[in-house]
Structure 1
Amino acid sequence: MKLGFYPGCSLNGTAREYNESVKALAPVFGIELVDIDDWNCCGASAAHAVNRDLSLALPARTLALAEKQGFDEIVVPCAACFNRLAVAQYELNKDELLKKSVEKSIDMTFNNDIKILNVVQFIDKYIKNKITEKISHKFEHQVACYYGCLLVRPHKIIGFDRVEDPTSLDELMQFIGATTIDWGFKTECCGASLSIARTDLVAKLSCNIIKDAADRGAEAIIVACPMCHSNLDMRRPQIDEYVGKKISTPVIYITQAIGLAVGITPEKLGLQRHFVKVNTL
């Protein structure tokens, strides 16, 4: 089975390990992920705050290219990219004049009916029902599933999971043998793209997330967003300084956790690339 794949900027750069883990996991379940030809940046996280037309044209071009390539569905692992593509599709489908304007700006016409799947939806649809027969090492750890701001928002567009108390990541982790904690920071903001401009704010916001997960006994924090991973993993020195102690709880992607459970090597999953070591897993 072939599905379209939109890596976005992060998965080709700072979140290389996310890309590696998704691409390593898919073949185990008979899925070939094919990159969209000539894809471009989706505009996250600033385009929609600067220019509305640009914020729609950037993801629209990628959707048009995917449609031209013959894909009915595309997998978009980055939560921010998924949000921008889904929002653009929604906005253009409800305003035909706006869609024609965007089509003119990108010099392409398209139906705009391609199915966009985030990584959890992709796993739910194509992998979950086959996991049991593939598991070789149950992921028997206590984890905190962190959804962040964008994976399930805005609900009227995404229509996926519950906004304030989502459970989809928890259910997947429980499916591979993990115990998930009940905690209050699963959808709190990590500071997002303020990582460089206001590292102090990111340290404060991310500290609340990391500390609460660690205090509740989490052996790992599970994420599905490269920006969240970057803030919770790369900014750990600033977080440790803010909290006044070293917290060694690692942050891993849902695809890495499932990959470990089905016997993919840590190296193929990119676990060696993390700033906070994941040796305990």
Structure 2
Amino acid sequence: MTGKIRYAYYPGCSGQGTSVEYDTSTRAVCAALDIELVDIPDWNCCGSSPAHTVDHHLSAALSCRNLAQAAQVEGARGVITPCPSCLSNLKTSARRMADPDFAARVNKLLDKPLRHIPPVKSVLQALFEDVGPDALYPRVFKRLEGLKLAPYYGCIMNRPPQIMEFDDHEHPVAMDRLLEAVGATALPFPLKVECCGASYGVARQDIVERLSGRLLDAAAACGADAFVTACPLCQMNLDLRQDQINAANKTGHRIPVFYYTQLLGLALGLDPKALGLDKLAVSPRDVLAAVGVRA
């Protein structure tokens, strides 16, 4: 990579609240790697999980308004977002707008018709393609040697493949390769695209306890020191709900759950406070101290 790359940045609603550490660590890592993030002006909620279950056209209009706003960012290569749910909504809406009848109904809901659809990708894809493991390696300040990680992508970061169009939808490796470039060990985690229970944590806690419990069990069986994920909802279920899961399943897991950007930031020598490590429910201090990293 040569020179700075500019993207229109969609932080998503959770990035302003429950996953603020994902947003701040994403911004810090991108700045350190010469990726300029310009917040989409006057962005709105993409509809997240519920909107499309109520009205497909209204759901698409929410995302398409963001795409129209993003097109105003001068010099941007496209739109990137850290959140897989936001990514799915933005990319799905963009694809559906290729249907003239669908587009006509959506455009009636917008202040101005959407004329230009910028490319959309995840921050993970941008880091992997625009920076890449080989270019990341020489920038490392502190190698994370000895840190054994269970890379967990969640069920929608790469699926459905005809819409997400990045990495392998059953065995993705982009996050693995970036983590390996900074010295960590990415374990062959067998459940890297299995569902954690997603938003059922509110309506059906038992489902999250079963599915996320299965993930925690598998990580422990692999000998993982920690989970690393790219999804705010996955991180919340595995981290914040870990005590609930232990109580329900009669287990005793104490496995830290990092965002991959937090670990990349540590390896790049960024301030742990800027990476939001203090926001994690399961403290990562002992795990990091064991590999010579102070958090």
Query: What TM-score does the superposition give when structure 1 sets the normalisation length?
Result: 0.96
Distance 1:149 1:273 in 2: 24
Cα drift, residue 67 of structure 1: 0.8
In the alignment, which residue of structure 2 is the partner of 1:165?
171
Distance 2:77 2:102 in 1: 23
Instruction: Find the residue that maps to 1:218 and give its secondary structure.
Output: coil
In the alignment, which residue of structure 2 is the partner of 1:116?
120
Structure 2, unpaired ranges of 5+? 289-295
Instruction: Find the residue that maps to 1:221 and give its secondary structure.
Output: strand
In the alignment, which residue of structure 2 is the partner of 1:81?
86
Aligned residues: 280
2:68, 2:117 within 8 Å by CA — same for their partners in 1? no
The 5-angstrom pairing of residues 69-148 of structure 1 reads: 69-70=73-74, 71-93=76-98, 95-128=99-132, 129-140=134-145, 141-148=147-154
Distance 1:182 1:208 in 2: 16
2:209, 2:249 within 8 Å by CA — same for their partners in 1? no
In the alignment, which residue of structure 1 is the partner of 2:204?
198
Instruction: Find the residue that maps to 2:258 and give its secondary structure.
Output: strand
AA in 1 matched with 2:196: C
Cα drift, residue 205 of structure 1: 0.7
AA in 2 matched with 1:53: H
Distance 1:5 1:108 in 2: 21
Distance 1:6 1:252 in 2: 21
Distance 1:223 1:184 in 2: 14
Q: Give structure 1 regions of 4+ aligned residues with deviation exceeding 4 angstroms.
A: none
AA in 1 matched with 2:141: S
In the alignment, which residue of structure 2 is the partner of 1:208?
214
In the alignment, which residue of structure 1 is the partner of 2:241?
235
Deviations 1:64-118 (A, max 9, x none): 111133334111100100011000001112x022212212211222334311120
1:10, 1:226 within 8 Å by CA — same for their partners in 2? yes
Distance 1:241 1:143 in 2: 24
1:67, 1:110 within 8 Å by CA — same for their partners in 2? no
Distance 1:26 1:216 in 2: 31
Question: Is the counterpart of residue 184 in structure 1 residue 204 in structure 2?
Answer: no
Cα drift, residue 162 of structure 1: 1.3
In the alignment, which residue of structure 2 is the partner of 1:61?
65
108-117 or 137-146, which moves further after superposition? 108-117
Instruction: Find the residue that maps to 1:117 and give its secondary structure.
Output: strand
Aligned-residue sequence identity (percent) comes to 38
Distance 1:221 1:267 in 2: 20
In the alignment, which residue of structure 2 is the partner of 1:244?
250
Question: Is the counterpart of residue 48 in structure 1 residue 71 in structure 2?
Answer: no
Distance 1:122 1:110 in 2: 24
Query: What TM-score does the superposition give when structure 2 sets the normalisation length?
Result: 0.91
Cα drift, residue 204 of structure 1: 1.1
